[in-house]
Amino acid sequence: MSEQTLISVRDLSVHFGLRGGGFGEKPVVRAVEGVDLEIAAGSFFGLVGESGSGKTTLGRALLRAVPITRGDVTYDDGEVTYDLTAIEKTELKDYRKRAQLIFQDPYAALSPRMTVRDIIAEPLEVMGLTKTREETDERVREIAEKCRLNLEHLRRFPHAFSGGQRQRISIARALVSRPRFIVADESVAALDVSIQADVLNLLKSIQQEMGLTFLFISHDLSVVAHICDHVAVMYLGRLVETAPTRELFTSPRHPYTKALLSAIPSLDPDDRGKAQKLEGEIPSPTNPPPGCKFQTRCPVAIDICRKQEPKLDHTGNHHNVACHRWKELLEAPAG
Amino acid sequence: MNRLLDVNNLTLQFDTDEGRITAVDDVSFTLEAGKVMGLVGESGSGKSVTAKALMKLNPDNAVYGDDTKIALHLEDGPVDVMSLQTSTDLKIIRGGAISMIFQEPMASFAPAITIGDQMVEQLQIHTDMTTKKAREVSIEMLDRVGISDASTRFKQFAFELSGGMRQRAMIAMALSTKPKLLIADEPTTALDVTIQAQVIDLMKDLVAEFGMGIIFITHDLGVIAQTADSVAVMYLGRLVEQGPVREVIRKPAHPYTKGLIAALPQLDDLDVPLTPIPGDIPSPLERPPGCVFNTRCSVAIEGLCSREVPRFTQIAKNHQAACHLYTEEAVK
């Protein structure tokens, strides 16, 4: 796998203005704030966080599906380079072929009035990627086979399919334009456990076979741990920690990451009560606390955390953490 | 041990345009007071329908089997749930002896009535409290479930509360009538993992304090491992395995339970490949004959599992599985 960077993000912010709020300043949702990130070509990059952390917005920003407020996003696949903040209309059209999204809900994402063949073929027709119907059919069949859908399936309508099969149809639709970069937003969250494993294995094998780069957005750390090779943790619009998967799960540095890992219900009934509990809830992104965004819930927050926002600090081993106290806590873990 | 609930041969079918479909098939279990039973299953397994049957909350097209018996043991003697017909009779169980909390608390509160008014209303239906007393009790309950500034929250609407807060308010409301049995249907599924941990803790404290029995419905075996005393696993309307939580999770006997555990991504070993259960859950309209799991089972016995419904066999103390691998027919 090449070490080339496919997506590089510098100081990215996405703000949304809210309507109303009476006189004076309109409230602004700072969904993503000052994010630096590099996604290597060919990687399976995980983005985790709770609701309101900004993970979906960050994913959409990388697809140029939301307006970027500040910062730079560069896409470079070796063939073309795009600066997503200043991309022109014709370039954006081309970028849409190269970057695709797989949605969460396989029930809402597929039109009930189209056959599976038409659903998968639509992106090809809209983007004008094929010239004849035969060519379209050929492309559809090829990708359908990769997603384990047979010719019989292609003739049917989505209602005839189970959740797992529908998600395979969504995947085929996203992949038919032969993209390089895929954003998968909670793509297995709506599936049953026995089916989820199947879809995860499929994504992974397709990624390797087609040499794709994935941004895999999820709230489920155990899923991310199994499928991704690199993980970034978000909290209230900021990246708090990024590291190779194994490194992150074996030696988390940020108190938030530690708490998240500890909150996952263990399958061992004798682990009861061992989880380290976080108090309170994630603050509103319209009114984030000063200093470190996690300070209101952090068990080890001190004075500086309430005043100054920590920067993402390199700790070695491709591991970055945004915490004033990571070094200190490393020496005295009890804090 | 105080027996709280006996469910015997619960069978429940629905009349639909496509014919009569079986949602729950011959399910029996018991629950002691002060214990938590986890009811696990994937979509379409019949776990929610089973729980709703305990309060006869299923819609009018539900047809109960003739041998279905549900007995709820209260202080004044057992209540035969199946025989309750009128809404006055049903009040004894609905919101009285049995309370239920749901997955999506936003959908469970009336949007245009304050949290407080809803709590007071249900207290006055089930008890003879004065409005003033009911208000006091409600605020006390909100405080008990960890809602800060309870008297302000009492006057707010559901949309003004965060997700975790709403679920706490839901729990406060469900427990204010001091039910004997609490049915929790995926109560933490819509919550973030750090909030889920808080709610699970709260529920454990409340069991210890109030001593009610809980039926905890979830698809998440990890949540079960952290909360339940016993587990019942359902698949396509049938109970396939039940037993103490440690037994079932550490030594699962039924191939479906084994498959579920193997499909679960676990954090302690990242190298284990995820093993899906092959195939899809069949539609309830196409229930397979014999063992309901035989179409996806990798160890199904040719000519037996697709024909005969397996009986429950004792695996260990209180641990049973309904699988031909353990029945005499197969051993022969």
Please report, in tens digits, the pLDDT of each residue of chain B (332 residues total).
689 999 999 999 999 888 899 999 999 999 999 999 999 998 889 999 999 999 998 888 999 999 999 999 998 889 999 998 888 888 888 888 999 998 877 788 899 999 999 999 999 988 899 999 999 999 999 998 888 889 999 999 998 888 888 888 999 999 898 899 999 999 888 888 888 888 888 888 888 888 899 999 998 899 999 999 999 999 999 999 999 999 999 999 999 999 999 998 888 888 888 898 988 888 888 899 999 999 999 999 999 999 999 999 999 999 999 999 998 655 55
Taking the C-alpha atoms of residue B9 and residue B297, their distance in angstroms, rounded to an integer, is: 25
Distance from the Cα of residue A53 to its chain's centroid: 11
Taking the C-alpha atoms of residue B6 and residue A324, their distance in angstroms, rounded to an integer, is: 56
Residue where a domain terminates, one of B125, B144, B178: B178
Taking the C-alpha atoms of residue B319 and residue B253, their distance in angstroms, rounded to an integer, is: 9
Taking the C-alpha atoms of residue A39 and residue A33, their distance in angstroms, rounded to an integer, is: 18
B221 in Cβ contact with A267 (< 8 Å): yes
B304 in Cβ contact with B41 (< 8 Å): no
| Sequence-separated (6 or more) residues with CB below 8 Å from residue A187 | A102, A103, A104, A167, A170, A171, A199, A203, A216
A28 in Cβ contact with A18 (< 8 Å): yes
Residue A239's pLDDT is: 96
CB contact under 8 A, A193 and B281: no
CB contact under 8 A, B222 and A265: yes
B142 in Cβ contact with B174 (< 8 Å): no
Structure confidence at residue A63 as a pLDDT band (50, 70, 90): very high
Higher pLDDT, B273 or A35: A35
Domain boundaries, chain A: 252-335
In a domain, B72, yes or no: no
- List the single residue in B162, B263, B267 with the smallest CB-CB distance to A197: B263
CB contact under 8 A, B274 and A201: yes
CB contact under 8 A, A200 and B274: yes
Taking the C-alpha atoms of residue A167 and residue A251, their distance in angstroms, rounded to an integer, is: 34
- List the single residue in B201, B270, B274 with the smallest CB-CB distance to A277: B201
Q: How many residues does chain B have?
A: 332
Structure confidence at residue A181 as a pLDDT band (50, 70, 90): very high
Taking the C-alpha atoms of residue B165 and residue B171, their distance in angstroms, rounded to an integer, is: 10
CB contact under 8 A, A193 and B219: yes
| Dihedral sign for Cα atoms in the order A56, B165, A222, A144 | negative
CB contact under 8 A, A263 and B219: no
Taking the C-alpha atoms of residue A168 and residue A194, their distance in angstroms, rounded to an integer, is: 15
Per CB-CB distance under 8 Å, the chain B contacts of A189 are: none
CB contact under 8 A, B263 and A193: yes
Domain of B118, in residue numbers? 108-178
With CA atoms as reference, the chain B residue closest to A283 would be B162
Per CB-CB distance under 8 Å, the chain A contacts of B193 are: 50, 219, 221, 260, 263-264
What does DSSP say about strands A5-17 and A28-40: parallel, antiparallel, or unpaired?
Answer: antiparallel
Residue A303 Cα distances to A162, A176, A297, A298, B151, angstroms:
53, 53, 14, 12, 32
**Nearest CA-CA distance, residue B274 and chain A, Å:** 6
In degrees, rounded to 5, the angle at the alpha carbon of residue B293 between the alpha carbons of residues B292 and B296 is 140
Q: What average pLDDT is seen over chain A?
A: 91
CB contact under 8 A, B259 and A194: yes
Residue where a domain terminates, one of B178, B207, B238: B178
DSSP string computed for A184-206:
EESTTTTS-HHHHHHHHHHHHHH
**Nearest CA-CA distance, residue B114 and chain A, Å:** 22
In a domain, B58, yes or no: no
- List the single residue in B42, B225, B273 with the smallest CB-CB distance to A193: B42
- List the single residue in B165, B265, B276 with the smallest CB-CB distance to A198: B276
A213 in Cβ contact with A180 (< 8 Å): yes
For chain B, the domain total comes to 2
**Nearest CA-CA distance, residue B282 and chain A, Å:** 9
Give the closest residue to B184 by CA, choosing from B155, B219, B215: B215
CB contact under 8 A, B267 and A221: yes
CB contact under 8 A, A197 and B260: no
A vs B: CB pairs below 8 A? 120
Residue where a domain terminates, one of B126, B145, B178: B178
Where does chain B have alpha helices with state H?
47-53, 87-90, 105-108, 115-126, 131-144, 150-153, 163-175, 193-210, 221-227, 245-250, 255-263, 328-331
Per CB-CB distance under 8 Å, the chain A contacts of B261 are: 267
In a domain, B93, yes or no: no
Task: Show the tokens assigned to B58.
Answer: 């299923």
Per CB-CB distance under 8 Å, the chain A contacts of B160 are: none
Q: What is the number of H-type helices and E-type strands within chain B? A: 12, 13
Among A192, A200, A231, A234, the strongest candidate for a mutation testing the B interface, having the largest count of B CBs within 10 A, is: A192
Per CB-CB distance under 8 Å, the chain B contacts of A233 are: none
CB contact under 8 A, A192 and B281: yes
Among A104, A194, A198, the strongest candidate for a mutation testing the B interface, having the largest count of B CBs within 10 A, is: A194
In a domain, B164, yes or no: yes
CB contact under 8 A, B273 and A164: no
CB contact under 8 A, B225 and A271: yes
Task: Show the tokens assigned to B270.
Answer: 């990242």
CB contact under 8 A, B280 and A165: yes
Higher pLDDT, B253 or A195: B253
DSSP string computed for B1-25:
--EEEEEEEEEEEEEETTEEEEEEE
Q: What percent of chain A has pLDDT over 70?
A: 96
Taking the C-alpha atoms of residue B190 and residue A327, their distance in angstroms, rounded to an integer, is: 35
Among A191, A193, A208, the strongest candidate for a mutation testing the B interface, having the largest count of B CBs within 10 A, is: A193
In a domain, B324, yes or no: yes
pLDDT digits (tens, 9 = 90+) for A216-259: 999 999 999 999 999 999 999 999 999 999 999 999 999 999 99
